Chains A and B, each alone.
Chain A
Amino acid sequence: MSDPILSIRGLRKAYASGTEALKALDLDIQRGEIFALLGPNGAGKTTMISIVCGIVRATDGTVLIDGKHWRQNYRETRRRIGLVPQELTMDVFEPLMSTVSFSRELFGLKPDPARIEQILRDLSLWDKRKSILKELSGGMKRRVMIAKALAHEPDILFLDEPTAGVDVELRKDMWNLVRRLREQGVTVILTTHYIEEAEEMADRVGVINRGELILVEEKHALMQKLGRKILHLQLTEPLQAVPPSLADWHPQLSDDGATLTYEFDAKAERTGIPSLLAAMRDAGIAFKDLDTKQSSLEDIFVDLIHNGRKEAAD
């Protein structure tokens, strides 16, 4: 694997209020990947992003952008980073076009109307280019924030909760945009509480809670490693109750008696499926169809944080 494009080592942040928002965080982001940082409110996601982008001061630790120290080489490193902050903050009296051009020039690039046009078209903002920002809808404002972040053509993009409070359609647009950016070679780091979002888009997922990265995994590996699977059996003949001979597997019977579900640990060596099926045959229970379903990241996430708390309590 090539060197990480972003490398965070021992990053700590204690705010003046005493809150320890980050506790010695280590994280490597690979070139060109989509990384989802998943965690509840107050976990430290925004703090981490803000430190990398130079908005918040780190208490301790270092960040390397493509091997370059982020404070010693801030001109070079910042030029490569685009940030879409969590809050919708903009100069509401400015026209859209000039606020996006401003962002580009602020990063030291010469004005490029063709480039800005392309960005605005990609975000379906071109028709509104002359509008004053305060006249735009919330969804458009969010896209303006993205346009500003892309105006200087960064190759690392941070999206801090890009779809919080956003309707379904815009969320889909956002996902498509992120995929297009990845195709252009942009590394995307996004934070979210929506597990489906990480599941839908990310190549890798990091779970953060109370300033600590609990785990970082390939999304698929994560789901396989930690995911529990559910086996659904469509029975040929409905059952009144689960026969005692199957009690060892603790299967659940649906209300109509037609579906038997069995939850199993996908990472376990013995899933219990062959023995369950054998026991069913012995009991004379036939089925006409079966499928297994991966449990979602949501289940994994709840599980992880729950276990984290339990360990802390022990």
Chain B
Amino acid sequence: MNWRGIWAIYKFELHRFRRTLWTGLAVPVITTSLYFIVFGAAIGSQMTEISGIPYGAFIVPGLMMLSLFTESIFNASFGIHMPRFTGTIYEILSAPLSAFETVLGYVGAAATKAMLVALVIFGTAHLFVPVQVLHPGLMLLYLALVALSFCMFGFIVGIWAKGFEQLQVIPLLIVTPLTFLGGAFYSIDMLAEPWRTITLFNPVVYLINGFRWTFFGTADVSFGAALAATLAFAGVCLAGIWWIFRTGYRLKA
């Protein structure tokens, strides 16, 4: 393993994040506060509890996941798209790094930042509501797993995209709607049929509920189903990356 090479990419990417550290952290703090003011105060006063959990606490895992998804995709896709765009990718491609090592550097850094943002949101939420985490270790592991999966997905988006505007398309047009419709801010049990059953086809439902389960020990789907869905998503992304390096798709002429 070329650990130094992986570490070089990882450090480079984190350094890039550090240049925009303050905006990078201010944005999640402000959005989280806004969510609490709008959802917590305005809606929460109508809807005090969901499955026995105070509404304010109930939306915390959903808020964290929403940011984790978009941050992961954006950071990872930008991280690999930028060198493709400027041409500095030549150095990565000519280095003694395997595909796995290259991905580990980029995805590891993007996942680190995404997790940091999610934890900042968690901290901000604490200013508004008390939140207990039932399984903190599992919560962190699950957070890492989802972050890695979405960063791999973002890496694929960054390779696939032909321009910077396409980097925005997937998070904005697919992931954010799926998250809002996937029970980030409500329990899908509150939906009438057929919407409840249709919603079960939304993979994001499983990711959010799996994460919520680590907080409260209860969720709309079983933890096993959630974990299986998350692992399946990670597997699909891994296969996609394997295929990219195998064929050189948009990476090597």
Q: Do A and B come from one complex?
A: yes
- What residues of chain A have their CB less than 8 Å away from a CB belonging to chain B? 15-16, 50, 53-57, 74-76, 78-79, 81, 83, 85, 87, 89-93, 98, 102-103, 105-110, 148
Whether, in the assembled complex, B93 has its beta carbon less than 8 Å from a beta carbon of chain A, the answer is: yes
Contacts of A108 in B (CB 8 A): 2-5, 95-96
A236 to chain B, nearest CB (A): 62
Could you tell me if A78 and B94 are in contact, using CB atoms closer than 8 angstroms? yes
Could you tell me if A75 and B2 are in contact, using CB atoms closer than 8 angstroms? yes
Contacts of B88 in A (CB 8 A): 89-91
Could you tell me if A105 and B8 are in contact, using CB atoms closer than 8 angstroms? yes
Tell me, in angstroms, the Cα distance from A300 to B175 when the chains sit together: 62
Could you tell me if B4 and A105 are in contact, using CB atoms closer than 8 angstroms? yes
Could you list 23 examples of A-B contacts with CB < 8 Å?
A16-B253, A50-B253, A53-B90, A54-B94, A55-B90, A56-B253, A57-B248, A57-B253, A74-B96, A75-B96, A78-B96, A81-B94, A89-B86, A89-B87, A91-B12, A102-B11, A103-B91, A105-B4, A105-B5, A106-B5, A106-B91, A108-B3, A108-B5
B7 to chain A, nearest CB (A): 7
Contacts of A106 in B (CB 8 A): 4-5, 8-9, 91-92, 95, 97
Restricting to B1-30, which residues have a CB under 8 Å from any CB of A? 2-5, 7-9, 11-12, 15, 19
Given contacts A55-B90, A75-B96, A93-B19, A105 and B7 within 8 Å (CB-CB): yes
Contacts of B91 in A (CB 8 A): 83, 103, 106, 148
Given contacts A55-B252, A109-B4, A83 and B96 within 8 Å (CB-CB): no
Encode contact with A along B73-95: 1 for CB under 8 Å, 0 otherwise. Answer: 00000000000001110111111
Tell me, in angstroms, the Cα distance from A110 to B91 when the chains sit together: 17
A113 to chain B, nearest CB (A): 15
**Knowing that A109-B4, A110-B4 are A-B contacts, what are 11 other residue pairs whose CB atoms are under 8 Å apart, sorted by A's residue number?**
A53-B94, A57-B248, A78-B94, A81-B94, A83-B90, A83-B91, A87-B87, A103-B91, A106-B4, A106-B5, A106-B9
Contacts of B90 in A (CB 8 A): 53, 55, 83, 85, 89
Tell me, in angstroms, the Cα distance from A260 to B5 when the chains sit together: 65
Restricting to B24-55, which residues have a CB under 8 Å from any CB of A? none
A81 to chain B, nearest CB (A): 7
Could you tell me if B252 and A57 are in contact, using CB atoms closer than 8 angstroms? yes
Tell me, in angstroms, the Cα distance from A110 to B4 when the chains sit together: 7
Q: Which of B5, B7, B95 has the most CB of A within 10 A?
A: B95
Choose among B3, B7, B96 the residue that contacts A107 (Cβ–Cβ < 8 A): B96
Tell me, in angstroms, the Cα distance from A85 to B86 when the chains sit together: 13
Contacts of A93 in B (CB 8 A): 19
B47 to chain A, nearest CB (A): 46
Choose among B15, B95, B252 the residue that contacts A56 (Cβ–Cβ < 8 A): B252
Contacts of B7 in A (CB 8 A): 105
Contacts of A78 in B (CB 8 A): 94-96
Q: Which of A75, A103, A106, A109 has the most CB of B within 10 A?
A: A106
Contacts of B11 in A (CB 8 A): 102
Contacts of A92 in B (CB 8 A): 86
Tell me, in angstroms, the Cα distance from A57 to B252 when the chains sit together: 6
Contacts of B87 in A (CB 8 A): 85, 87, 89
Contacts of A15 in B (CB 8 A): 253
A8 to chain B, nearest CB (A): 16
Contacts of A57 in B (CB 8 A): 248, 252-253
Tell me, in angstroms, the Cα distance from A93 to B86 when the chains sit together: 12
A148 — nearest CB in chain B belongs to which residue?
Answer: B91
Tell me, in angstroms, the Cα distance from A50 to B90 when the chains sit together: 9
Contacts of A109 in B (CB 8 A): 4
Could you tell me if A102 and B12 are in contact, using CB atoms closer than 8 angstroms? yes
Tell me, in angstroms, the Cα distance from A301 to B250 when the chains sit together: 36
B100 to chain A, nearest CB (A): 13
Encode contact with A along B209-253: 1 for CB under 8 Å, 0 otherwise. Answer: 000000000000000000000000000000000000000100011
Tell me, in angstroms, the Cα distance from A134 to B90 when the chains sit together: 19
Encode contact with A along B110-128: 1 for CB under 8 Å, 0 otherwise. Answer: 0000000000000000000
Contacts of B252 in A (CB 8 A): 55-57
